[in-house]
Chains A and B, each alone.
Chain A
Amino acid sequence: MSAEAMVFLFGVIVGAALLFVKVFFVILISDLEVDYINPIELCNKLNQFVLPEMFVHAFLSFIFLISGQWIATAWNLPLVAYNANKVMNGKHMFDATEIFRTLGQHKKECFIKLGFYLLSFFYYLYRMILALVNDS
């Protein structure tokens, strides 16, 4: 297996994990809307995933960067920058006191990220298969 295939295999796995995390976010946020969960619990649950998710995503982008996958790097960079900006402004965490005021925003962001990870996932999968086919 070539290095490229290995990198994209890692990408596929991480992409799938990120996908699951985002689905989890979306489900919990919808739960909040229909009042199955209270905002304090929601924030406690979600906040423990926020930083790991960003870190994992940044790490994946870094792997792409050092392995010279320029397209994949370029695709991921904007999100890394966006996340970094949010962390620097201290706005990355879910705030239980403001959650209902910002719910729409959070939901929109979650869906966009979900779509982004989904596209990434298929792209990594495609590149992995391509690399494997080229190998053999």
Chain B
Amino acid sequence: MATPPFGSQQQHQQHQQQQRPPPPMGSGIQQSAASPMIRPANLPPLGSPGMPRPFQSPQIQARPPPGQFANQGQQTAPGSPAINPVGFMSGPPNGQNRSQPTTPRMQHQQQQQQGPPTSHQLHQQHQQPLHLQQQQPLHHHEHPSQPPPPQLGQHQQQQQLHPPMGQELGLMAGPPTSTPQAGSQKPKRMYPTGINAYAEPTPAYEATPSNHGFQQHPGVSAHYQKGDMQQQPPAHAQGSQFFVPGEKQPPAFGQSVPAYQQGHQPLQGQPLQPNVNQLAGQMGGMNLGNTGYGGAQGIVPVSTVALMGSVPKIYDLDAPPPPIRLPETASITQSPFANCDPSYKRSTLNAIPATSQLLTKSRLPFGLVITPYRSVKEGDEPVPVVSDSIIARCRRCRTYINPFVKFVEGGQRWKCNMCYTLNEVPSSFDYDSVTQRPVDRWKRKELNHAVVEYIAPTEYMIRPPQPLVYMFVIDVSYPAIQCGMVATAATTILESLDRIPNDEGRTKVGIITVDSSIHFYNLKAASGEPQMMVVSDLEEAFLPQPQDLLCNLSECRPVLEALLNRMNDMFKDTQNVGNALGPALNSAYKLVSPIGGKILCLQASLPNLKAGALKMREDPKLLGTAKESTLLQSASSFYKILAVECSKSQVCVDMFLFGSQYSDVATLSCLPRFTGGSTFFYPAFTAAKSEDALKFAHELAEFLSQRIALEAVIRVRASKGLRMSAFYGNFFVRSTDLLSLPNVPRDQSYSIEVSYDDNLSIPVVCFQTALLHTSSSGERRIRVLTLALPVTTSLSELYASADQVAIATLLACKGVERGMNAKLDDARDALTNKVVDILGVYKTHMTASSSGATPNLQICDNLKLLPLLTLGMLKHVGLRGGSQIPSDLRSYAMHLLSTLPSQCLIPFLHPRFYSLHDMPEHCGAIGDQGIEMPQAMNLSSERLSRSGLFMLEDGQNIFLWIGRDAVPQLCMDLFGVPNYQSIRGGKTTLPTLETDFNQRVNLIVNKAREMRRTSYYSQLYIVKEDGDPALRLWFLSHLIEDRAEPIMSYYQYLGHLKDRVNSASF
């Protein structure tokens, strides 16, 4: 094996990455961080098993560009089963430990070819005469329509025999963008004009050849050399102009080049290919030979990596979870969609421990992260809909039929994969009684897709599907008018009226405004003018009239528009500071509860009258102490009780909170938390700032136009032996395994912890989530998500299959829960303890150095970012210690931490950090996958440079950091101002200019706002290096690899973890 070159190559890339950005604040931190970077290039990690290295390297070839990951992840699941068709065709696999030796499809055909029924079938016929008579002749029709499995197998085999291993390897580790191939194909220029202009020109710099210069070099190696040479100089050119660049650096770089080229050249382009194939072949052979049910138990390469001394490979944050290695015959249809996509449902462990002891031993958290109602954007696969209302369910455990059941007795029955009960297959699976024609059951969507939606028949309804109901409760007290919330809200609602889902014309809308009295509006007044009714008796708020307060949107449209147009003017001179939210909510509840629906609360002041009145309880003395969590708990039971009532009548409450002062997010967010709603918080909102108004208007408009689900319940079923033990998210737990959600907003995530009832003796476990809901088009539907995972008895496979992103999502939920109910300190300790446990067990059982102190921390490749993500949590506003964070902000961050889906949560914990001033030409331009983003960098301030422009975004905010030595050309190009001094920091909108750079940055900012499935609109801040210190600190607090008092830097944290691991025994 060509181990050493691979290693050196990869390390060199690290090296190169390290060197590119100039060192900014050349202090002790940088020193300590820089020294370990170079060291590991020569040292193999101590105690790592021999195998991992070679495994890591081929991925360099096989790794696709980052944009393809989603597809790749899907293909991997069927990929591994497809390896085996050879064995499968030449006879039933030996030693297969199950009742069902061949796939049902095979069995089906065998049966037909044999002609007369076997004794087995006769027995069946005896039991089910009618059924069989009806079905037997159909098999002939059915036969030709089925694709013969051998062909399918061969086809897949040809495609997959080589790739799978490469894919698997590719998924495990490695830089996606710094691969030699990608690198050699990529244009290496990095905004040449920009750099020339923006970085103060140095002679070396001006010598950079023209744009196409390097393409004239024919050889691959020449490309390489050229490319790297070009990438490097800017760094040095910049580096030389501020701080001490370190006299050593250029020579070091110069020295490294030849070595690098030597190491590189044999690896480029073609030469690596055979290695990969060879390896894939070998591994494929291993898998082929391994015919037992242990397709899942096959040799799973665990590649151990050393954590300390290397920069965290953050690009793996976007990598798909470890592949699910199901046995070949797990799915009855070899459909590529047979297993659930991770964006809908992912497990923290992609191989399930067979015993609870094994799980306890590994100390890995076991849970599911579910986003059942994620939005489907353009280009995404829509959820297939089964519209013939044939819903096959297990009669015992009520599991829906899915691709992992088994057909037995000649396809007459199916065996439930959760409880192993035999169930009748509905005759309509094979015969359509309406058209009187046979149908192909293998084409049924529920047998081919893990995510399907059924149109539910009336048995699934307690009442006719409810229409959408939007009840607005708008605060019109003095602070609300003053900050412009009412005006913005009224305009936004007015403009969004067309976007509110109203397919069947049943959607109802009502408006209540509230200050010290409650104002109702008759939206169906005969005069065509809205009629306002004021109820000032708050003790027993009654409804002034029985109907027309909640009206059909299409019918009351003119009146509603008139009201919204006038709303701000009606109250513009108010001096009323009362806010009777409680009584208003009670009235709104009375109005909505007969139907169910949504109450949207827009509040800009603290409720201060009658029921539900809240006090300003923020006490700076409590912040940072053990008592702080009392501020994060609900202050009044009123809202909790109301939430329970709302949940019972299918009413969801959403909170839009605008705080110029304390707004008690902790208490008010109780309502959304237990009714499946959402909370939005706009601290220091003033509509006079167009950015504030834009953010709110965008989010409210998105929120109103969301096609939400109504009157929903979620139930998660799992194979026998497993149980859902704890639930995190916004819902009401109605039974031990039933979640009730009056509304299901798009893209909200729910985390569920799983525990053991019994040990597992089965090769595959299944988790099935069923979401019974009414769609916004008024159909009762059931969305079923099925996830099948292999069972393992080996600790190494368990570790190799752990999904760090899902683990981080689950840990964030648990941390938030702990922080709210106990102490924030406890929550942080628990998070660190968890990581220490995982690292400790890994060290003890998976590495050579089982006991005693080791100089480095080791973990498997797929968990290598867990310490970084945990550190991100410890430094996150939601959990960070210190007395600086107002409890409102903390509560809101906690709300986000426990509801954001993984896709948005990971950037929220570990923001994306880009360098814009020296980004390559193609970034910000429209490429194959839309607008191309620059490569994300590590979150460390050593990446910042005084003349640079950097962007950091976490899904909620976007920061543009601009160094104080930014050249005037950059200021001119991007902001249209002559120099750095004229740039205005703070919340802002980027001007749109004619310059190329400005357009690219604008595109990148817009892409950052739109690239995730979320309705949040990121606010843009411009952070000047010497600008507003608060803003600067806020920006710097996102750089989690840095030391931020009192929390350690990433390397200190690793050292701390190492000490803890070394001092304890596991």
Contact = CB atoms under 8 A, between A and B. Distances in A.
B673 to A, nearest CB: 8
Given A97-B674, A101-B726, A39 B640 contact: no
B648 A39 contact: no
A40 interface: yes
Nearest to B735: A35
A135 B517 CA distance: 69
Interface string B614-639: 00000000000000000000000100
Contacts of B727: 100
Given A97-B674, A101-B726, A39 B643 contact: no
B733 interface: yes
Interface in B83-104: none
Nearest to B641: A96
Nearest to A102: B821
B1001 to A, nearest CB: 46
B819 to A, nearest CB: 15
A26 to B, nearest CB: 17
B644 interface: yes
Contacts of B39: none
A109 interface: no
B644 A38 contact: no
B751 to A, nearest CB: 14
A95 interface: yes
Contacts of B640: 95, 97
Interface string A27-66: 0000011010011100100000000000000000000000
Interface string A97-128: 10111000000000000000000000000000
Contacts of A43: 644
A104 to B, nearest CB: 11
Among B647, B648, B732, B733, the one with the most A-chain Cβ atoms within 10 Å of its Cβ is B733
A17 to B, nearest CB: 28
A38 B637 CA distance: 20
B357 interface: no
B733 A100 contact: yes
**Prevailing SS type, chain A contact patch:** loop
Nearest to A103: B736
Contacts of B732: 96-97
From A32, A40, A90, A95, residue with most partner B Cβ within 10 Å:
A40
A88 to B, nearest CB: 15
A35 B640 CA distance: 22
A96 B644 contact: yes
Contacts of B735: 32, 35, 38-39
Nearest to B740: A38
A90 B635 CA distance: 11
B734 interface: yes
Contacts of A40: 644, 647-648, 734
Nearest to A97: B674
Interface string B701-738: 00000000000000000000000001100001111101
Contact of B644 (A33, A35, A97, A100): A97
A93 to B, nearest CB: 8
Given A40-B648, A101-B726, A33 B736 contact: yes
Nearest to A39: B734
A98 to B, nearest CB: 9
Contacts of A38: 734-735
Contacts of A39: 733-735
A101 B637 CA distance: 18
A97 B734 contact: no
A38 B738 CA distance: 10
A51 to B, nearest CB: 15
Interface in B725-765: 726-727, 732-736, 738
Contacts of A99: 733
Which bracket fits the contact residues of A?
10 to 19
B643 to A, nearest CB: 7
A64 B644 CA distance: 41
Nearest to B732: A97
Interface in B932-964: none
A97 B736 contact: no
A48 to B, nearest CB: 14
A95 B633 CA distance: 14
A97 B643 contact: yes
Nearest to B645: A40
Interface string B641-655: 001100110000000
A128 to B, nearest CB: 41
A39 B727 CA distance: 15
Contacts of B644: 40, 43, 96-97
A73 B736 CA distance: 40
A40 to B, nearest CB: 6
- Most chain B Cβ neighbours within 10 Å, of A33, A96, A100: A96
A113 B732 CA distance: 29
A135 to B, nearest CB: 50
Contacts of B734: 38-40
B232 to A, nearest CB: 56
Nearest to A38: B734
Contact of A100 (B637, B643, B736): B736
A45 to B, nearest CB: 14
A96 B640 CA distance: 9
Nearest to A90: B637
A100 B735 CA distance: 8
Contacts of A35: 735-736, 738
Interface in A6-41: 32-33, 35, 38-40
Interface in B207-262: none
Nearest to A36: B735
A133 B344 CA distance: 74
A96 B644 CA distance: 7
Contacts of A90: 637
Contacts of A95: 640
Interface string B879-919: 00000000000000000000000000000000000000000
B672 to A, nearest CB: 12
A57 B957 CA distance: 57
A33 B640 CA distance: 22
B648 to A, nearest CB: 6
Nearest to A99: B733
A122 B735 CA distance: 37
A97 B643 CA distance: 9
A126 to B, nearest CB: 41
B347 to A, nearest CB: 22
A52 B150 CA distance: 74
Most buried by B among A95, A99, A100: A100
A31 B637 CA distance: 26
Nearest to A96: B644
Contacts of A97: 640, 643-644, 674, 732-733
Interface in A81-100: 90, 95-97, 99-100
A38 to B, nearest CB: 5
A43 B674 CA distance: 16
A110 to B, nearest CB: 17
B397 to A, nearest CB: 14
B461 to A, nearest CB: 19
B938 to A, nearest CB: 38
A31 B643 CA distance: 23
A101 B818 CA distance: 12
Contacts of B736: 33, 35, 100
A112 to B, nearest CB: 22
> Top 6 A-B pairs ranked by shortest CB distance?
A35-B735, A100-B733, A96-B644, A97-B674, A38-B734, A40-B644
Given A95-B640, A97-B674, 12 more contacts: A32-B735, A35-B738, A38-B734, A39-B734, A40-B647, A43-B644, A96-B644, A97-B644, A97-B733, A100-B727, A100-B736, A101-B726
24 contacts: A32-B735, A33-B736, A35-B735, A35-B736, A38-B734, A38-B735, A39-B734, A39-B735, A40-B644, A40-B647, A40-B648, A40-B734, A43-B644, A90-B637, A95-B640, A96-B644, A97-B643, A97-B644, A97-B674, A97-B733, A99-B733, A100-B727, A100-B733, A100-B736
